[in-house]
Amino acid sequence: MHPTHPHLPEGMRTGDERMDSTHDGFMDLMQTLRDTPPTERLPAYDALVRHTEAHFAQEEQWMAELGLPPQNCHAGQHANVLETLHEVGKRARQGDLGLIERMLDALDEWFALHVVAMDSALADALRAHAAAQSEAARARSSVLSTLP
């Protein structure tokens, strides 16, 4: 456990503080949902869905800033998961609250793999991009300093 991200296991840290903080919040909301009695879970479930929508949208914004096409594999996983989350919410509202428990188990498993396979690569690409940008800025300012 990391002191600043208490809900995020060490092996699931990407090193990007913004991303790790969102992931920690996601794990926290999943735990809150587990700690809520099954018949009272809808508000906590909706909070998890809203958090996830913002979480995925932020990562997709970063992908766009890196010049990745919107229909990439990472964004595709997000879209599939959101679609399932929305469907489960709809059916839970119709009375099938047991589905939330199954969704939580599936989400737990999926998220651990997603962070390692997809989010870590995005964090690496964001770091490489930031390093290239600051290198370019340094080169520009050193060229400018040679001008009379």
Binding site for Fe ion (CB under 5 A): 59, 118-119
Coil, helix or strand for 97?
coil
Coil, helix or strand for 95?
coil
Nearer to Fe ion, 92 or 111 (CB): 111
Min dist. Cβ of residue 30 to Fe ion (A) = 13
Residue 56, token pair as written in the block = 């995925």
* Residue with the CB atom nearest Fe ion in the bound state: 119
Min dist. Cβ of residue 10 to Fe ion (A) = 17
Min dist. Cβ of residue 78 to Fe ion (A) = 6
Nearer to Fe ion, 118 or 126 (CB): 118
In this structure, how many other beta carbons lie within 10 angstroms of the beta carbon of residue 36? 15
Residue 2, token pair as written in the block = 């990391």
Closest to 45 (Cα-Cα) out of 91, 6, 113 = 91
Nearer to Fe ion, 103 or 118 (CB): 118
